[in-house]
Structure 1
Amino acid sequence: MNTAGWLDDTRASYDTVAVSYAGMLREALAGEPFQRGILALFAELVRARGNGPVADIGCGPGRITAHLHGLGLDAFGIDLSPAMIDVARQDHPGLRFEVGSMTGLELADASVTGMLAWFSLIHVPDDEVPTVLAEFSRVLRPGGVLLLGFHAGEGARLKTEGYGGHPMRVYVHRRSPARVAAWLNDARFTVEAEMTHHPAPNVEGGFVFAHR
């Protein structure tokens, strides 16, 4: 598996599919009660730890950022794809969105109370995950809440098209919650919960809650 240039490939792929991706997923949460429940739990944990800014890392077109805002959180979004950020700003003009990479966040140390990576770590190669989690640890306040959502399982595949048949070049990595939890422990997080969700046959989502 050659994942060299993964950041450039991910940025270009999501620039290409941004509009169709947003259109296909804009109302998806309405049919996902388990995901809404997980996000509600995240919001409750953030409020219990004093509220404050919440960063949605890999926010795409901003649908989860907006949902968290609707739950009363001071949420803002960051995404690698400028086209995704353009769509997010158009769809949610009252919220803050910025272009940025999770490998080097332009956020101050200990500046957010909550952090979410909702199916955005799935394109990060294994050897880059510790760098990303170190950034998350740096930016999160002591006691701050982290929620990771991802495709559960094992292995990776190269995705060459998606979201209306547009060309893409991204590796989609599947990981077990236990493996993600072990990475978090190494990054000096305290893992609070590991969950799996089976929304359809042969489809498995993983969710891990942790705090700094």
Structure 2
Amino acid sequence: MKLLLVEDDPSMQATLERSLTRRGMQVHACSDGRQALERWRSHEPDVVLLDLTLPGLDGLQVLERARGGGLATPVLILTARGTVGDRVIGLNTGADDYLAKPFDLDELEARLHALHRRRAAGQRETPSHTVGNLRYDRDSGAIYHGAQVLELTPRELALLQALMVKPGHAVSKERLFELVFPGEADVQYEAVEVVVYRLRKKLAPTGATLMTLRGLGYLLKAQA
């Protein structure tokens, strides 16, 4: 199991990373919300273990932007916020499970394996998304043109991933801005247009067209 551990407490992070690695998991740890979101997009794990109180972006913001970008990785929220209200908010934002601190390691491991099995069953049904000759491999996070990985910048990749999971449907500029420039308050919305312009040139030979729908956003569809 490839696990993305997002926890900002150094002691808790080290303990979980050590314990879960000993139990056979491949653990990549992040302590910052923005860093975690970038890692999630570029190297999609099997399961995400997500704390809510994080610097950069908090856990709910990370989860909301990941789900908005089409990342369907199972998420277990692990937090000291154990009230019913917090649990409902987390689950409504897109979490799959919730475990309050303090917790038992055996129970945590069992829940992570349950989410992993659920993901494996889902991947047998929908392992990737295709538009024209493009294929988005959700397991690796890469987008292929035929057998070759499409060479994209991180921002181009984030934008194309968001469009690939909703082929034929418009995605608003505001949503794309949140996914491509997370937490960058000093960047203008027009920056999305620059990424779109560059991406559109790279997509020309792929059999997919990136369309601008005035007032609605952007849409990806296969060329006729």
Q: TM range, normalised to the smaller chain?
A: 0.3 to 0.5
TM-score (norm 1): 0.36
TM-score (norm 2): 0.35
Higher-Rg structure is 2
- Bigger proportion of residues as strand: 1
Considering Cα pairs closer than 8 Å and 6+ residues apart, tell me whether 1 or 2 has the greater RCO: 1
